[in-house]
A and B are shown apart, each in its own frame.
Chain A
Amino acid sequence: MLEVKELACARGEQKLFSDLNFRLAGGELLQVQGENGRGKTTLLRTLCGFIQPLEGEIQWQGKSINELDEDYFANIVYLGHLNAIKDDLSALENLRVSSALSGSTISDSAAIAVLRRMGLRGRETFPVKLLSQGLRRRAALARLLINKAPLWILDEPLTALDVSAVGLMQEMIGEHLRNNGIVIFTTHQPLEVSGAVLRRLTLS
């Protein structure tokens, strides 16, 4: 369970938001909304522990994330604006590396199955630099499927994705929520997950 108490964040001199409170339990979906420059990405990066908040506290299972430190990182998957995949490696190698970095090794067959589900059939061993933007994003999203972490923090996950990939993404989020996971995301595109209540947080 994630709990945010009286959170305030700033970038440089500018205060972005303050007095932010929310609590998310397993199976809940939160969309962070707001105009450009309102601090959506800053909020998500703060929740990942990259940025120290100005005031307030973030708690995971009742303990401050500063206290949990590296134990907290085992519970989150973060997908940022950047795909975090290496151009010189293939999608398969990228997936194996990111799986290992998240704390567990994965067999080739399992990794290939995940990449095929993401629509990369036949391109698993191509260097990623030969793939289109949309396929690269799909290769990056494959990370969500191999990770067992309960908290997904997704910053604009739908960028560069086509209609079928958006559908797949909705399906993946739905599955994750049914497995008692938590998803926090930002998007400027409509994203509808069947069977889940969408909570909205607007930064203004």
Chain B
Amino acid sequence: MNKLSLMGLFGLVIRRDLMLAMRRRADVLTTLIFFVIVVSLFPLAVGSEMDMLRKMAPGVVWVAALLASMLSLGRMFSADYLDGTLEQMLLVPQSLSILVLGKIAAHWMLSGLPLVLVAPVLGLQFDMSGQALLILVLSLLLGTPVLSMIGAFGAALTLGLRGGGVLVSLLVLPLCIPVLIFGTGAVIAVTSGVSPASNLSLLGAFLLMSLLFAPWVSAQALRISME
């Protein structure tokens, strides 16, 4: 037997969650399909006025990404809570924060990363320029991990509550507003000919801040919820 390092624990939790998700692919696909459908509804409903579509594109994609990420939050801890594996996780001797960080990373790979990858294709429906698409992808790449981290905190706090799914959205959505503002701001800046650097830097700052605090805060929230 070998002692498991912190990195080993981090990798193990990611592998475990990805393996579980691969055995239940439908759960992963629902988030992605929801995102694709919501974004595609807008051009259909609003009509094909190119100017208007181009203007609303960043907002629509970002709001849809935000809602789609809410959809999968309920699953982050609840399955493990129901079958008792979460209790065992709380007894991990290395570091619960690292374990939670691993769960957040796995959650992002399954619900955030697919959105980032499919966003440029959806952007084409709105006649976005190549540069705007690039910045959109970049802003989502920086922003969606933050959504997963804030979401983890909400999911941990509402664990085991009735109607937790709705409650977690009410709790988390307001906290995500800054990410939404700077995410869309970056794309709007580039389409109006200004540098998106400041918006992207702020998103990067949010990412670092939440990396620092979210795993620890979520770990404490889990301990409180499991009492």
Which A residues have a C-beta under 8 Å from some C-beta of B?
48-52, 70-71, 73-74, 76, 78, 80-89, 93, 97-106, 110, 127, 148
Contact = CB atoms under 8 A, between A and B. Distances in A.
Contacts of B93: 70-71, 73-74, 102-103
> For chain A, what secondary structure do more than half of its interface residues adopt (helix, strand, loop), or is it mixed?
loop
A82 B227 CA distance: 16
B88 A78 contact: yes
Contacts of B99: 101
Given A50-B227, A93-B19, A106 B1 contact: yes
Interface of B: 1-4, 8-9, 12, 16, 19-20, 23-24, 82-85, 87-96, 99, 223, 226-227
B19 A83 contact: no
Looking at A71, A101, A106, A148, which has the most chain B CB atoms within 10 Å of its CB?
A101
29 contacts: A50-B90, A50-B223, A50-B226, A73-B91, A73-B93, A76-B91, A78-B88, A80-B87, A82-B83, A82-B84, A83-B83, A83-B84, A84-B83, A84-B84, A84-B87, A84-B88, A88-B23, A89-B23, A97-B12, A97-B16, A100-B9, A101-B9, A101-B92, A101-B99, A103-B3, A103-B4, A105-B1, A105-B8, A110-B1
A85 B83 contact: yes
A52 B20 CA distance: 32
B87 A70 contact: no
